[in-house]
Amino acid sequence: MIAYHFPPLAGSSGIQRTLRFVQHLPALGWQPLVLSTDPRAYEKTSDDLLAEVPVGTVVRRAFALDTARHLQLAGRYLGWMARPDRWISWKFDAVREGLKLIEEFKPNAIWSTYPIATAHVIASALHRKTGIPWIADFRDPMAQHDYPVDPRTKQRYLDIEADAVRQARYCVFTTPSAARMYQQRYPAAAGRMVVLENGYDEESFSPAALAPHEASGPAAGTQPLLMLHSGIVYPLERDPTQLFIALARLRSEGTLGPAELRIRFRASVHDDLLRQLAQTHGAQDFIELSPAIPYREALAEMMAADVLLVMQASNCNAQIPAKIYEYLRAGKPILALTDPEGDTAGVLRSAGLNDVARLDSVEEIAALLPALVRDWREGKAVLPQTLAVQQASRHGRSQALVALLEQATTAGIVAASQRQD
């Protein structure tokens, strides 16, 4: 399993996908070997998830540098040194370490996961050298209409994804729209493109339910509704500007004030930008900015909040934030500022949740917020449906991955036999 996102990396929900597969696969008959990067390549680290890597798991860490932090000179670096990403240096030692792992353990399959494109570069090299079946976990689309912005980086993305489509036994996506996009882009390989969504880990929630976090709740009288956005606020893809404008408008109209609604941004990464935007648009009294906390504490906070907030721009319609599934498990009302036609809204609708307004629409947000606060105060806020929550567990996702691994390796045996014949 070739994954940049692995403990002790901190600050990204992307770490959960590989970590939870590593936890669940052994009980399902598969023993994972992890090939990750030296922690020096991570901008931020934390030990809080290291204990959740099962004892005995083989984890090899290849030498890597972050070009932007380690290889710059006077604040600049050459573009080719960060193409396809800032961790391309990981490739060289990772291929060597990967070959050692293969020689030592004779694995049945290679699995690599984006969003660090270099992981697919490493996997492709190992697959070509050994012939071991490869599953390329794209998660989200790589090359898109407006991303990457740099044309040479975008071309490199296109080259990497085209190579993965040619070489990998299966290409895996976390949303139906992403899979459809690639089926249309590479129709000859459409049958090898499958959806394996993200999810939540039930074991992580059990102790979180007992953590000492308190929400205000409808019975709290004059306490404001506490709405929580947990995780990174990307300046473009999760731009809260229209939300802040709507809040200021509602306050000026006397419809909704800070005494009724408090929005907490936890671990946004861009606190300075949020603070500036809130002040510019007159919404600063509605919001609070809070630092990152350990993962299980973050889950406990989700369970203690009154409403959970997700923001996703329409250019991310083919993506679903991984925390959506943790939000569902937290069992709280969810406000989605996203395109109703996108996959994020689709997941919420399938769970019986319909509080959706477009992220770029002040009018829709301003219409929805007072109604949401009123429903909460009256105890009428809609909660996720139990069946939808159960279906989103990481254990179920791991079972789906096992089925895919078995199909990939069986097909590999047949192909090898045919070549010998």
pLDDT along the chain (421 residues), means of 10: 96 89 96 97 92 95 94 84 94 98 98 97 98 97 91 96 97 96 97 96 75 49 89 94 98 97 97 97 97 92 97 93 95 97 96 97 98 96 94 92 95 49 45
Contact 4, 120 (CB under 8 A): no
Tell me what pLDDT residue 208 has. Answer: 54
Tell me what pLDDT residue 117 has. Answer: 97
ω into residue 187 within 30 of 0, thus cis? no
Contact 153, 118 (CB under 8 A): no
Strand extents, DSSP E, 313-400: 334-338, 356-357
pTM higher than 0.85 for the full model? no
Contact 138, 168 (CB under 8 A): no
Separation of alpha carbons 419 and 413, rounded Å = 10
CA atoms lying within 13 Å on the CB side of residue 208: 23
Nearest-CA neighbor of 170 among 136, 123, 209? Answer: 136
Local structure of 62: helix, strand or coil: strand
Tell me what pLDDT residue 11 has. Answer: 80
Classify the C-alpha dihedral 158-163-164-170 as positive or negative: positive
Classify the C-alpha dihedral 288-17-51-36 as positive or negative: negative
Q: Where in the chain is the domain with CATH 3.40.50.2000?
A: 15-199+393-420, 203-388
Tell me what pLDDT residue 72 has. Answer: 86
Classify the C-alpha dihedral 208-211-213-218 as positive or negative: positive
Tell me what pLDDT residue 420 has. Answer: 44
Separation of alpha carbons 293 and 291, rounded Å = 6
- DSSP per residue, 248-294: HHHHHHTS--TTTEEEEEES-S-HHHHHHHHHHTT-GGGEEEE----
- Helix, strand, coil share (%) of the chain residues, nearest 5: 50, 15, 35
Tell me what pLDDT residue 283 has. Answer: 97
Strand extents, DSSP E, 57-113: 58-62, 110-113
Q: Which fold has domain 15-199+393-420?
A: Rossmann fold (3.40.50)
Separation of alpha carbons 224 and 217, rounded Å = 9
Tell me what pLDDT residue 419 has. Answer: 42
Cβ atoms within 10 A of the Cβ of 201, count? 23
Q: Output the six-digit token pair for 333.
A: 């009302």
Q: Which fold has domain 203-388?
A: Rossmann fold (3.40.50)
